[in-house]
Amino acid sequence: MSSNEWPLWEVFIRSKQGLSHKHVGSLRAADAENAINNARDVYTRRSEGISIWVVESKLVAASDPKEADSLFDPADTKIYRHPTFYDVPDGIMHM
Partner 1 sequence: MNKQEAILEYTLRIADDSLILGHRVSEWCGHGPILEEDIALTNIALDLIGQATNFFDYAAKVQDQGKTCDDLAFLRLEREYKNVLLVEQKNGHFGDTLARQFFFDVFRKSYFEALSKSADKDLAGIAEKSLKETKYHLKHSSEWMIRLGDGTQESHDKIQESVNHLWKFTDELFFMDQVDELLIKENIAVDLESFKSAWTSYIKEIFQEATLTIPTNGWQQAGGRKGLHSEHMGYALAELQYMQRAYPNMQW
Phi, psi for 64 (deg, rounded to 5): -80, 120
User: Identity (one letter) of the amino acid at 64?
Assistant: D
Does 72 help bind partner 1 (rule: CB under 8 A)? Answer: no
Phi, psi for 84 (deg, rounded to 5): -105, 0
- Give the residue with the Cβ less far from partner 1, 23 or 37: 37
| One of 38, 49, 52, 54 touching partner 1 (CB under 8 A) | 38
- Give the residue with the Cβ less far from partner 1, 20 or 47: 47
55 closest CA partner among 21, 90, 82: 21
Kindly list the residues in this chain that would bind partner 1 in the complex (CB under 8 A): 27-31, 33-34, 37-38, 40-42, 45
